Chain A
């Protein structure tokens, strides 16, 4: 009770200081929020692209239907493979006409169909990795009637690299700014301790407990973190709306991320002030 009263009193006593430190914490956490949105969207985008990772097996014109069926069956029996679909030469031509309308005339005028028939292999979730893709392609190319397999090896590799870079960047910059927020809270608590050093001295003199003296400062740090976190969420949401409307569509981060972020802000504030107290309470 006393701790809560005192922590709130601290906000009243030094409104400028607390407003300033809350704003600074909010800005630092705002950067973390922006990274969270960026990383979440990158993750989602990559996931969607990944769903389209597939292996295309081109078969020679002289392959018999029964042979192709055998190939499809074998591929389907692999754990990496979710489904296969056969596209005949005619299907290929049809798709080319739709996909490339500029060449409509060219395709219509052809006397022989130059496009090969193909089997498109869809991979199961969790198997859209460079290794699985290569394994499926290898299996298919054993068949003598298979002319070629294509799966954009480079492209799959890059996708994975991009994902890893995105994750690492977010982790490093996110934690850097989280540390900045913690430092700000620690400094604010230090200033608050200094401003109240006479009271603290008397409290120790007359035998207030360690916890009794520390609790209001811990609470103040936690409140600053939570308030700063909440403000950062608001700022991030505003930016998200702005970008979504004016530049390109983004997805908002999941609610659990928001809650976890604010809770982390509170926890960081608590730890930062505990650290400041450890160092500076001894000296006043």
Chain B
């Protein structure tokens, strides 16, 4: 589903944000991506979403390789991989429902199905009753649910979440986590970046990948392997 092969990402001025990172996330798996601020979590998710491309190695997502996918046809990948942000990024001046139907409309859903499909998606995240409210009138937790409903519009196989609970209080954060667990239980793979270690500890069965200064330093699925120095680049 997701596979990183010796991935390196170098920024012109900042140097290496990711250094020889390799891991896999399988179909239907749930994993946390943790690490200090600046350790490369967002960079990793951006590379998986192909909002950016690695300077070394290869990212493989749902059969798309970072080596051959171009910005022009990255939309095919985007219909398989949902993405939610810490700051929600809803469109202002639109209702919760309109934010969801926007995503449906721009990916080719017939106009007469928009409203019903939008409602179905909002119901899926537990927001059916608030569908007519303006996005900015909703609480943070509710806004994040709208953003998740929007990400579900394409029925993605994978959900990437970059600090989705970062702007929420603990209760709302738990609510979002439960929603993710729910979606995961129905077969969607979830890769969630977070530096909230309390949250990570609250879900001991979820796999943890830890980054430190651009290197993968811990993988709970294979703790003995990831701790060792990475193998030679061109092996």
Contacts and interface: CB of A to CB of B under 8 A. Distances in A.
Interface of A: 2, 198-199, 201-210, 212-213, 282
B9 interface: no
Contact of A203 (B71, B83, B89, B106): B106
B91 A210 contact: no
Contact of B71 (A2, A199, A202, A282): A282
A208 B89 contact: no
A199 B78 contact: no
A205 B107 CA distance: 11
Contact of A206 (B73, B76, B78): B78
30 contacts: A198-B89, A198-B91, A199-B91, A201-B89, A202-B89, A202-B91, A202-B102, A202-B103, A202-B106, A202-B150, A203-B106, A204-B78, A205-B78, A205-B83, A205-B89, A206-B79, A206-B106, A206-B150, A206-B153, A207-B75, A207-B77, A207-B78, A207-B107, A208-B75, A208-B106, A208-B107, A209-B75, A210-B73, A213-B106, A282-B71
Which bucket holds chain B's interface residue count?
Answer: 20 to 34
A207 B76 contact: yes
Given A2-B105, A201-B89, A207 B83 contact: no
A202 to B, nearest CB: 6
Interface in B53-82: 71-73, 75-79
Given A198-B91, A199-B91, A204 B75 contact: yes
B91 A206 contact: no
A209 B103 CA distance: 12
Q: Which of A201, A208, A212 has the most CB of B within 10 A?
A: A208
B79 to A, nearest CB: 4
Contacts of A202: 89, 91, 102-103, 106, 150
Contacts of A282: 71
Contacts, number: 45
A205 B77 CA distance: 10
- 6 closest cross-chain pairs (CB), A and B: A207-B78, A208-B106, A207-B79, A206-B103, A207-B75, A203-B106
Contacts of A203: 106
Contacts of A207: 75-79, 107, 154
Q: Which of B72, B75, B89, B150 has the most CB of A within 10 A?
A: B75
A199 B89 CA distance: 10
A210 B71 CA distance: 9
A206 B71 contact: no
A198 B153 CA distance: 18
Contacts of B71: 282
A210 B72 contact: yes
B151 interface: yes
A202 B84 CA distance: 11
A166 B235 CA distance: 70
Given A206-B107, A282-B71, 20 more contacts: A198-B91, A198-B92, A199-B91, A202-B89, A202-B103, A202-B106, A202-B150, A204-B78, A206-B106, A206-B151, A206-B154, A207-B76, A207-B77, A207-B154, A208-B75, A208-B106, A209-B75, A210-B73, A210-B75, A213-B106
Contacts of B102: 199, 202
Interface string B138-168: 0000000000001101100000000000000
A201 B78 CA distance: 12
Contacts of A208: 75, 106-107
Contacts of B75: 204, 207-210
Contacts of A210: 72-73, 75
